[in-house]
Chains A and B, each alone.
Chain A
């Protein structure tokens, strides 16, 4: 079946611009996560959605970052006034809840480059 998809795969933007990154989770997965990965580092948690609501947004670095999941499926990560330090791979993952089994399925990521 279809896995987690993310679009675009690559995004190049200029400092100060606004960007949106999209994540399509596996159908039926109610839990959705965003992570950010800098070169040579492990992924870093940003935000967790359970259904439509953000259950934990403690990883968002500042108020320029915002994420939504209005219908409980597709999620969009929005970054305002981008800075060069925002350049990274942005990963999305989804998980089926209701059991203790907690495998997260990751998408291929969106590589964001801020010039």
Chain B
């Protein structure tokens, strides 16, 4: 599986935007970029995913570099409830026996200050 690289930790202030980077230089053409987050004492939850184009949903935006070797998760206005570990994951596209399998790295610990 292609690997991702994320900073170990980041800090933000409440109500400010947060840009969480992810490098995935060995991404293949069929790999989707997924972001999950894990709040303290909870299971991971889906945030957003994309393939080539930038994506927006109610939780966040995903900006994907033109060469797809990096991406950025954007939280437009951080709240205290956004404090979590954020995981950037490459998920192989359709086909094969491991369709949907997620390979988590260490993630980025986001601290949000009031």
A residues bordering B, Cβ < 8 Å? 4, 31, 33, 35, 41-45, 48, 55-56, 58, 91, 93, 95, 97, 100, 102-109
Contacts and interface: CB of A to CB of B under 8 A. Distances in A.
29 contacts: A33-B102, A35-B102, A35-B104, A41-B106, A42-B85, A42-B87, A42-B105, A42-B106, A42-B107, A43-B44, A43-B104, A44-B104, A45-B101, A45-B103, A48-B98, A48-B100, A48-B101, A56-B97, A56-B101, A58-B98, A95-B100, A103-B46, A103-B49, A104-B36, A104-B44, A106-B43, A106-B44, A108-B42, A108-B43
Please name the 8 residue pairs, one residue from A and one from B, whose CB atoms are nearest each other, closest first: A42-B104, A106-B43, A103-B46, A56-B98, A43-B104, A56-B97, A106-B44, A55-B97
Interface in B13-42: 32, 34, 36, 42
Contacts, number: 60
B94 interface: yes
Given A41-B106, A44-B104, A45-B103, A93 B43 contact: yes
Contacts of B87: 42
